[in-house]
Structure 1
Amino acid sequence: MRTLVLGVALVAVLVTASASAGGATRPVAPACPSCEALTPIDFKIVGRSTVAKLKSDLAMGPGEMRTLLDAKTGDITGDLILPPSPGYFIIFGFTPATSTVEFAQDGKTVGKIVRGVLNTVSKVTVRLRDVKVAGVPLDVGPNCRTATPAVIELTSGPSPPPFVPPRLLKPLYGTFTMPAFTGCGAKEPLDSLLTGLISGPGNAIRVELTHIPR
């Protein structure tokens, strides 16, 4: 249920996030010994992920990705921030369920531009809260999350020359595996239930980027 990205900008992306979901602190572009050789580029990120097991879509964003581009190598590093997303799903084929899905970035989003094609990798921990099944609260507790970060790899279509942002605004696509859940259940263990309902491969993600001038 909430990458029920990234990242990903990805991130971008991705999703493409730390952005701890809804984090109050605006991420800062990564420091480097020779930052004068890097170009800061910021993006607005909007995306959608399809949770394969639930056959339901989850809206992501609008969020932001702040990156540094090495124009000589095409390498990109950055931070992704995504706000919490409300999710609506049908489980068991007929039972409505809602939740709030949060994304927390694990490390930097990294990527590379090669002749206008952007490939990125983001690692995002997915957290669930405010879960309700048929309108009845399901107390998942404060620490319900994926046991390991989801690894989101995204790729874009080619862009026209000069092959670098801000003209690189093609949508990014990818699929990812949702890891098993852990720490779920304040009064009873719910890890197995949520893992069985949500976790698994083949979750699609599409991310759109809009360049934000500095």
Structure 2
Amino acid sequence: MTLTRFALPLVLAVAAFSLGAAEAAPGEPVPSQNAPATQIPFGFTLGDAQQPTTSHVAKLGSDIAFPPGTFDGALGGLTSTVPITGKLAIPPTDGYFVAFRFMATTGRVEIVPDGDASGTATVHTGKDKDCKATQTNICADTDLTAKVFIKLSDVKVDGRPLDVGPDCRTAQPAAVTIKALVPISLPASPVKVTSTFTTPAFGGCVGHEDVSRLLTGLVSGPGNTFVSNLTLRCFSTGCKQP
């Protein structure tokens, strides 16, 4: 029986310069002249060794820490509010928790994106009051939703394998919506983001028997949290197109 749900969330932000801007302030990323006007790439790092991305499983009272991940996306234009899309990549991790308050359980937890994350970003530039808190002249108010399946494998209870089969995951993707005001500057300081989400029921957890309902009872439900430090890695030049 394993647990863990993590919703990845992921949040994105991106900066945009007004088309009439003659010159960017020092330290601010400048879009490449060759970048398509409606597809400006950017990249974020999620978490690091000191402050990993974590997911809190409400029903079990347990935290799952993930290795550093990435979010590579694109900004759809240079107007005030624009669409953003991106691909989330978070390495799998081993989780530990105590089921029924006494049973030590471990398992491999994998976050499987259900397509691209998408949303909008409202870009603020200059001395806009919304950017003052970020201590930068460029920031983005983001509203992003990532849908991810939570897959479990290599489950052990008290050190004994529990056969969950090769396709044990949430029957529906978990929707993680993240809203954050993210500064855009290079080099960039990390910004902490937090989101609350619901873990769907599990399905396909069939080995010697179907344990999907067991895992659903242990893990699924509302009130789970996703916490990560996001750091802008690149903007325009030097970024790969998602």
* TM-score category of the 2 structures, normalised to the smaller one: 0.7 to 0.9
Query: Hey, what does 2:155 align to over in structure 1?
Result: 131
| Count of paired positions | 188
Conservation of the 8 A alpha-carbon contact between 1:2 and 1:84:
no
- Deviation per residue, 1:162-206 (Å, 9 max, x gap): x64665842221111100001112101101100000000110111
Could you tell me how far 1:64 is from its partner in structure 2? 0.9
Alignment correspondent of 1:106: 114
Aligned counterpart, 2:104: 96
Which amino acid in the other structure matches residue 187 of structure 1?
H
CA contact (8 A) 1:65 1:78 kept: yes
Instruction: Among all aligned residue pairs of Structure 1 and Structure 2, give the percentage whose two residues are the same amino acid.
Output: 39
2:87 counterpart of 1:79: yes
Q: TM-score, normalised by structure 1?
A: 0.80
Q: Which runs of 4+ in 1 moved over 3 A?
A: 163-169
CA drift of 1:75 comes to 2.2
Q: Which amino acid aligns with 2:42?
A: I
What's the CA shift for 1:38?
2.5
Alpha-carbon distance in 2 for matches of 1:113, 1:122? 14
Q: For residues 46-73 of structure 1, what are the alpha-carbon distances to aligned partners after superposition, in whole Å with 9 as ceiling and x for unaligned?
A: 2111000010001123111101013323
Q: Give the superposed CA RMSD.
A: 2.1
Structure 2, unaligned stretches of length 5 or more?
14-34, 48-52, 125-139
Where does residue 170 of structure 1 map in the other structure? 191
1:147 matched residue in structure 2: 171
Provide TM-score, normalisation by structure 2: 0.72
**Residue number in structure 2 paired with 1:58:** 64
Give the AA of the match of 2:163: D
How far has the Cα of 1:13 moved from its partner? 5.5
Structure 1: tracts of 5 or more residues without a match: 15-33
